[in-house]
Amino acid sequence: MKPAAQTWILTGLLSIILLVTGKFVFTGLFGFFEPRIDGIIFHIRELEGKWKTSTLFSCMLALVPVLLVLMWRFAPVVSSIRRVGSVLIILIFMIAGILIRHQEVKMYFMRVVKPFFLRKGQFNVNYPIDPVNFVYYMFTGFCIGYIISYFLFTQNKKQ
């Protein structure tokens, strides 16, 4: 089997694994990402719509290896060190997107929601939340990391 075909088969398998895994770990993973605020308990839920949040998250995870291999193949990124670097940069920006959204949610609930419920005399509040914005921030981080990786690690073709 040609190395290119083998690469695409492995990429497809990894994408399918990430797609299925993303669906199963969605609630637990985003429960971990939600901030811990005294008196507020977050319940992860999905709003009905064209795309459920878990499906959007799973599809985004499945696209990551495909888009990486496309960049490595057509940009081209040939060195193993450069490939690892591109993966690390993309992961760093995806994690940064998650952390930025985490801080935004935490600040909002600390400054707005918690004081509102404390004035009403409620001390423990169950708050249903759809983490779709976390997925958007992760995707934005992926896009920024992808663009930076592209410009940092692609090799110039000789004229």
pLDDT top residue among 156 and 84: 84
Task: Kindly report the pTM of this predicted structure.
Answer: 0.85
Q: Domain ranges in the chain?
A: 3-153
> Above 50 in pLDDT, residue 13?
yes
Q: How distant is the alpha carbon of residue 1 from its chain centre?
A: 33
pLDDT top residue among 79 and 156: 79
Let me know: does 76 contact 151? Beta carbons within 8 Å. no
Let me know: does 134 contact 27? Beta carbons within 8 Å. no
Let me know: does 140 contact 97? Beta carbons within 8 Å. yes
> Above 60 in pLDDT, residue 136?
yes
Instruction: Give residue-wise pLDDT tens across range 117-128.
Output: 766 666 677 888
Mean pLDDT, range 31-53, rounded to an integer:
82
> Above 50 in pLDDT, residue 159?
no
